[in-house]
Amino acid sequence: MFAKPDLGFALVCALMLSWPSTLMAQVATPAPRAAASPVAGSVAAGALLPQMDVSVKPGADFFRYAAGGWLERTEIPADEASYSITHELRDLTIEQLLALLDRLATSEELAVGSDEWKAVQLFAQATDLETRNAQGIAPIAGDLEAIWKRSMVSRRSTSCTHSCAMRS
């Protein structure tokens, strides 16, 4: 007398009834916030175009399309086996850090004892070759002696273990 309900029909009806409420529950995508990065906005739109080779179709050779301009302009340095944008960024970063340390070493803007001050002091020590050469190994002589003694103790215990094992 009563027909057996069709499960597929019931599922479709349930989805149709819940669909409008699902759409109403969606939240609009928030507007992008200003980036907190100090370099945010420093790359203008189209700034990467000189790095590209737009004469190449992206579907034919995407690497050449994306980096062709850079490949044409860049020469591998004689002291490098290979060179990429990563190497270029590394070199630029080292150049900028050395310039920053040089500038800070001659300025009075750092608080004594701060992490930045310590970095500048370490840099100054590392680049003062005259003082380092005059001191020789004297500043680390005690540490070298301790390492030597520990290595000799380690060698004796290792050789005893080997010779004791051989006697058994």
> How far apart (Å, rounded) are the C-alpha atoms in residues 65 and 85?
15
pTM for this one? 0.47
Integer Rg of the chain from CA:
34
With contact defined as beta carbons under 8 Å apart, do 28 and 20 qualify? no
Task: Judge whether residue 16 has pLDDT over 70.
Answer: no
Q: How many CA atoms lie within 13 A of 101 on its CB side?
A: 17
Using pLDDT thresholds of 50, 70 and 90, give the confidence band for residue 49: confident
Q: What is the pLDDT of residues 73-99, one digit of tens each?
A: 988 889 989 888 889 899 999 999 999
Model confidence pLDDT, tens digit, residues 114-158:
998 999 999 988 889 999 899 999 999 999 999 999 988 777 666
Fill in the amino acid letter for 109.
Answer: E
DSSP for 41-79 reads T-S-TTTTGGGS-TTS-TTT-HHHHHHHHHHHH----TT
Extents of the domains making up the chain: 49-136, 137-168
